[in-house]
Amino acid sequence: MRVGIIGAGAAGLAAAYDLTKLGHYAEVFEQAPFLGGQASTFLVGGGRLERGYHHLFVSDTDMVDLIQELGLGEKLAWLESQVGLFHGGRLWDFSTPWDLLRFKPLSLVQRLRVGLWSLVLQKTSNWQKYESVTAQEWITRRMGKEAYQVIWEPLLRGKFGENYDQISMTWLWGKFRLRVSSRQGILARERLGYPMGSFGEVFDTLGERIEQQGGDIHLSARVQRVVVEDGTATGLEVKLPDQDPEIEAEIRSYDAIIATTPSYIFTRLVPPLPVAYQERLDNVRYLAAVVLILALDRPLSDKYWMNIADLSLPFVGVIEHTNLVDPALYGGNHLVYLTNYPSRDSELYQMSAEELLAAYLPHLQKINPQFDPSWVREYFHHKIDGAQPIIGVNYGQRIPEHRTPFRNLYLANTTQIYPEDRGTNYSVRMGRLVARMVLEDAQAGC
């Protein structure tokens, strides 16, 4: 078979890898000049760093298995994580149940309720029971209004903005399940995985393997439309970077096409879709990720992951990458991600790197009173569109099928990862699943 694939992120590359491994031809088109999508990397101090923070949980077996299969297993390290919660002008340890018991902003009764219901969530595998209730309703009823207002509401506001009170409890359930899966015992700290050559090395190796198996990957390539004839996808209209700009785009023919773009881009590439399917695409809204990365000459804190449960701070997360990974890999720089998830029409999304830096720096002294702007050696600014689908109640009933209404055209994007949240592991799993669908449908003559 000849399969055209739009997007060289985790899903597109995983699909291409499996198809070419089985002797089929896969041709991948990526608009960016690099592989990896949201897990792509850039150089800092001689080391490769992800544009958006990434790590693996112990339960991320699809990505772990792929790393092993590519011969990079020896570079995958499992490291103990330190988690903190910033609330009320103070950074609290928040890695173990003992830390929760010492969390004084909540009364002892509230702390015990949070601990009890957290354990229940971690032990519950039936996510469907949470689909029809919001996180706000469930947490308030079980853990208490005080616990919701102190811990969960600021986090949900930070992650989902004005949509915070619409988020399904299934989404929050998934976060509890991930955290406990990465602990060796209920009282232990979580252990997270990181490939010491970076996720960029994983995707570069994956790309090389695809080409060794007979596939092709085109970077800085623009797919202008999906060609559909009589209800069947037959090709892609593409413009490659080395083509004369005066020459019209080229149409390439395929037996099947896999699109891994966000839904709002997918609808621009294809002819009008049946109303029911189009509504499923339109009903899911996205938030962007805005990331400012600071390269400091010393640590900001002793925490890897810091949730910000304080609306006075202008960012929602502080991820200090070099509290998980040795700063020597990055020329001695201590690397800190400051993150937000705004809509694309927000003021924050429109701000320049310099404007973000000016807005953020004064607040770092709240986290570390010793912080001084002179600690900043460099800073980097990245914006990722379509980073976070908004997961509302009964979301599972509105997910678009991978098999689109057009024959031989498949969609595989982050809106279809459920009940888990977006991540490289689930994108790899989805890419491989859709590759199997393509082959099964071809064999069945669908």
Rg (CA), the chain: 22
What pLDDT sits at residue 243?
77
Mean pLDDT of 151-168: 87
193, 196, 203: which is closest to 66 by C-alpha? 203
User: 176 falls in which pLDDT band (50, 70, 90)?
Assistant: confident
243, 239, 272, 269: which is closest to 257 by C-alpha? 269
**Max CA pair span of the chain:** 71
Mean pLDDT of 125-143: 94
Mean pLDDT of 189-217: 96
How distant, in Å, are the alpha carbons of 34, 37, 49, 72, 361 from that of 196? 19, 19, 10, 9, 29
Instruction: Look up residue 106 and give its DSSP letter.
Output: S
pTM: 0.94
What pLDDT sits at residue 377?
98
The model's pLDDT over 274-296, given as tens digits with 9 standing for 90+, comes to 999 999 999 888 999 999 999 99
Domains of the chain: 2-33+219-284+391-444 (3.50.50.60), 53-95+189-197+286-389 (3.90.660.20), 108-177 (no CATH)
User: 71 falls in which pLDDT band (50, 70, 90)?
Assistant: very high
User: 445 falls in which pLDDT band (50, 70, 90)?
Assistant: confident
pLDDT tops 80 at residue 251: yes
- Report whether 19 contacts 201 (CB < 8 A): no
Cβ partners under 8 Å of residue 79, min gap 6: 191, 192, 193, 194, 324, 325
Pairing between β-strand 232-239 and β-strand 250-253 as defined by DSSP bridges: antiparallel
What pLDDT sits at residue 185?
52
The model's pLDDT over 392-411, given as tens digits with 9 standing for 90+, comes to 999 999 999 999 999 999 99
The model's pLDDT over 351-375, given as tens digits with 9 standing for 90+, comes to 999 999 999 999 999 999 999 999 9
What pLDDT sits at residue 178?
67
What pLDDT sits at residue 311?
86
What pLDDT sits at residue 188?
59
User: 175 falls in which pLDDT band (50, 70, 90)?
Assistant: confident
* % of the chain beyond a pLDDT of 70: 97
- Report whether 289 contacts 346 (CB < 8 A): no
Mean pLDDT of 413-436: 94
DSSP string, 167-219: BBHHHHHHHHHHHHHTBSSTTSPBEEEEETT-HHHHHHHHHHHHHHTT-EEES
